[in-house]
Structure 1
Amino acid sequence: MPSKAELHCHIEGAASPELVERQARKYGEDPSPFIRGGAFLWHDFTSFLAAYDFAAGLFRSEDDYALLAEHYLTSLARDGAIYSEIFVSPDHAAKAGLSPQAYAEALGHGISRAMAKTGIEGRMIVTGVRHLGVGAVEQAARFAARCGHPLVSGFGMAGEERFGDIEDYVRAFEIAREAGLGITVHAGELAGWESVAAALDHIRPARIGHGVRAIENPDLVRRIADRGVVLECCPGSNIALGLFPDFAGHPFAALKAAGCKVTLNSDDPPYFGTSLKHEYDMAAQHFGLSEKALAAVTRTAIEAAFVDRRTKAALLARLDAKGR
C-alpha cells in the first residue's frame, strides 16, 4: 500500500456518519433525515448543504472539535497516510459559539493526539468563506496571521466560487502572505476555467483547490504546468457533484500528462462516498497509476505541503523508506 498525503479536506465535512450519529445522541438531535444505513442522504447541492450544516452543528465544544480532528487523522493514518492538511473555518467556530482561537486550539489538540498515536503529521489551513464577503475573508486572514498556533501553516478561501470578483479578496491573501503562510484558493470547481485564470492573475497561489476546470483551456493548462502551481484534485467529489460523468471523463490523467502537478484528495469524504484511500484506489483503477506513480503523487503533495523544511525532509525520507 503506497504512502499517502492529503492537502484538501474540510474538517467539518470529514466527520463520519458514525461519529455524527454519536454526536447527535450526545445532544439529543435526530439524525435520521440526514443519515440512513451508515451514509449521508442528499440528492442535490441544497440537500448536501443541509446535511453538512446539520452534521457541522453537532460539533459545539472544544472537546468535540478535538475529537473530530483526532478521529479523522487517525483514520487517515490507518489507511497509510503520513501527512494531512485540514481546512478549518473560523466562521464555523462562531456558529458553535467558540472563539476562533479556542476552535484552532481544540483542533490542534486533536491533531497532536493523532500524531502521538499514529505518527501522522498534520497542519491546519485557515479558510475564509467567499460568499460571506470580503470583510469576513479578511477577518479570517487576520486571524490566521496572528493566531500563532504552530500547526496553522496556510490560508485559503472556499465557498461559492461564482460569488464576487476574486480581485476584491487580494488584501486578505496579502495579509496571510505577509505573515509567512502558504497560499491556496478554491477555483475551477463549480466555476469554469476563467476562475482559475483569475486566481492565478490576482492571488498568485502556490496551490489551487480543485482547478480541474482548467482543462477547458489548453493555454491555461500550459500556464499551470509552467508555473508549477499544484492542483488539489478531488475526483470523487467532482463526480459526486456532477462536474464530470465518471472517472473516465475526469481530467486528472490529462492534466498530469500535460505536466501539471496533481495531487489526490477527498474534500468532504463521507458525503461523496469516498476516502483518501478510495481516491488512490480509483486513481490506480481508472487513471492507470502504478504504485510508483501513486508514490510520485504523494511526493508532489509533500513537496507542496505548507510545512517547514525540516518536517518536509522527514516526510520525504519516510516516503522514500516505504518505497525501498
Structure 2
Amino acid sequence: MSFQSLPKVELHMHHEGAAPPAFIRGLAKEKNVDISRIFTEDGGYAYRDFWHFLEVYEAATSVLTSPEDFRRLTLAILEESAKEGVVYAESFISPDFCGGRDVAAFKDYLAAIKDASDEAERDFGITLRGVVTCIRHFGGDVARETAKCAQETAGDWIVGFGMGGDEKAGNQSDFKYAYDMAREAGLKLTTHAGEWNGPDEVREALDALKVSRIGHGVRSIEDLNLVERLVEEKITLEVCPGSNVFLGVFDRLENHPIAKLRERGVNVTVSTDDPPFFRTTMTKEYEELQRVFGWDETDFADLNRVALDAAFCNADTKARIAKLLEPKDV
C-alpha cells in the first residue's frame, strides 16, 4: 500500500509555516514586495539555523496582510495536505500574524480561514481545526492579548491554545496567566517544549501550564522519570521527526528517540511542523520512519488512533474521522 494514500491525522502544523514557497513568492510579486533573499535557487526557503529560520519565517509571513490572503493560504495548505492523505489536521494560528492581536480583526481573519477550511473539506475531504498560538519570544504580557483572542473565538472550530517561538526565551511559567485564560474558555492546551531545551522544560510545561499535549517533547528521553510521568499522565507528544533532523536537534533519524519513546509507552504522534521549510511531507515522514525503524501499516494505524484520541476537536468530529481511518476492504 502507498503511504501517500494512507489516511493520516496531523496535530502539529504551523499555519503560515505550511505556506508553499511558490504561493508566498506569487503573493509577494502581486504586492511588489522583494523578499527574494529568503528563497534558494531551486525555489525553497533559505536559512542557516533555527534562529535564522524564525527571521525567514517572519519575512515570509510579512506578505500575508489581509483576511483574503489567509483564505487563499488556507486553501493552498489544505490542498497540499490532502494530497498526502491527511484527513484531519490541527493548525497553529497566531493572532500576531492575523490582525495584530486585535480581537475584531482576528475574527475577520478567522472567518476567512474557516471559509477556506469549509471549502477544502468539501473539495478535498480534509477537516481542519484551529489552535490559537502565542509566540514565546514576544513575552507573557503579549500572550495575554493572544489569549483574549482565543477566549473570544473558542468553540467547535477554535479548539485549542498553544505556544510556539524561541524556546530559549523566558520560561513556560511566564505564560501561566494566558493559559489560565484559555483553559477558562474551555480550550484544550499544548505548548512547544523539550525541542531545544531539556527535560526540565517539559516538566515545567506540565507543572505550570497543565497541558495535555507537548509540541516536540523529544528530549524527554534524557530523563526516564519524566518519561514515566508522560505515560502515567497520558501526555501526548506531537513529534516532528523530519523537522528535528533538519534543524539539527538530532544528527540523523537513526538517533531520533521517537521509537524509544513509543516503546516505553509514551503517546507519540507524527507531524510535519513547517513542511516546506523542512522539505518534508506526511508521506515522506512515514516513508522515513518505515525505512529506519521498520514500522509498517499497523504501526501507522496505531499512531493515527493515538493522534485522533489526542485531537482537540469534539466527539462528533472524532467519530467522523475515525470512520475514515478504518481499514478499507480490498
TM-score (norm 1): 0.95
Q: Which runs of 5+ in 2 are unaligned?
A: none
Aligned partner letter, 1:317: K
Describe the SS at the equivalent of 2:326.
helix
Question: SS state of the match for residue 254, structure 2?
Answer: helix
Q: Which runs of 4+ in 1 moved over 3 A?
A: 94-98, 321-324
CA contact (8 A) 1:126 1:152 kept: yes
Q: Find the residue that maps to 1:8 and give its secondary structure.
A: strand
Secondary structure of 2:134's partner?
strand
Residue 174 (str. 1) matches residue 190 (str. 2): no
**1:100-126 deviation digits (Å, cap 9, x = unpaired):** 212222211221111111121110000
Give the Cα separation in 2 of the matches to 1:194 and 1:244.
Answer: 18
Aligned residue identity for 2:13: C
Rounded Cα–Cα distance in structure 1 between residues aligned with 2:36 and 2:181? 43
Q: Deviations over 1:154-212 (max 9, x none)?
A: 00111122222322322211211111111111100111111001111111211000000
Q: Percent identity?
A: 37
Matched, 1:230 2:230: no
Q: Which residue of 1 aligns with 2:53?
A: 48
- Shift in alpha-carbon separation, 1:43–1:164, aligned structure 2, 3 A: closer
Please name the residue that 2:23 is paired with: 19
Match of 1:30 among 31, 34, 49: 34
Unaligned runs of 5+ in 1: none
CA RMSD, Structure 1 to Structure 2 (Å): 1.7
Deviation at 1:148, TM superposition (A): 4.7
1:209 and 1:323, CA in 2 relative to 1: closer, same or farther beyond 3 A?
A: farther
Structure 2 residue aligned with 1:265: 271
What residue number does 1:277 align with?
283
Secondary structure of the corresponding residue to residue 269 of structure 1: coil
Q: Which moved more, 1:23-32 or 1:255-264?
A: 23-32
Please list, as runs of the form range in 1=range in 2, the aligned pairs for 1:195-214 lying within 5 A after superposition. 195-214=201-220
Question: Equivalent residue for 1:189?
Answer: 195
Query: In 2 relative to 1, CA 54–167 (structure 1 residues): closer, same or farther, beyond 3 Å?
Result: closer
Task: After superposing the two structures, state which structure 1 stretch, 36-45 or 85-94, moved more.
Answer: 36-45
In the comparison of the two structures, how many residue pairs are matched? 324
Q: Which amino acid aligns with 1:186?
A: H
- 1:211–1:148 distance in 2 versus 1, CA, 3 Å: closer
Selected match of 1:76 from 81, 90, 94: 81
Aligned to 2:136: 130
**Larger CA deviation: 94-103 vs 63-72:** 94-103
Q: Please state how far the C-alpha of 1:149 moved relative to its aligned partner.
A: 5.6
Residues 225-266 of structure 1, C-alpha deviation per residue, up to 9 Å, x if partnerless? 111100000111111111100000101101001100000111
Q: How does 1:88-103 map to 2 (within 5 A)?
A: 88-94=93-99, 99-103=105-109
Once the two structures are superposed, residues 37-59 of structure 1 have per-residue CA deviations (whole angstroms, 9 ceiling, x without a partner) of: 12111122343223212211111
Equivalent residue runs for 1:276-315 within 5 Å: 276-315=282-321
Tell me the secondary structure at the aligned position of residue 270 of structure 1.
Answer: coil
What is the distance in 1 between the residues matched to 2:35 and 2:50? 19
Give 2:253's match in structure 1, choosing from 247, 251, 270.
Answer: 247
State how far apart, in whole Å, the 2-side matches of 1:48 and 1:164 are. Answer: 19
- The residue number in structure 2 matching 1:119 is 125
Query: Retained in 2: the 8 A contact 1:57–1:96?
Result: no
TM-score by length of 2: 0.94
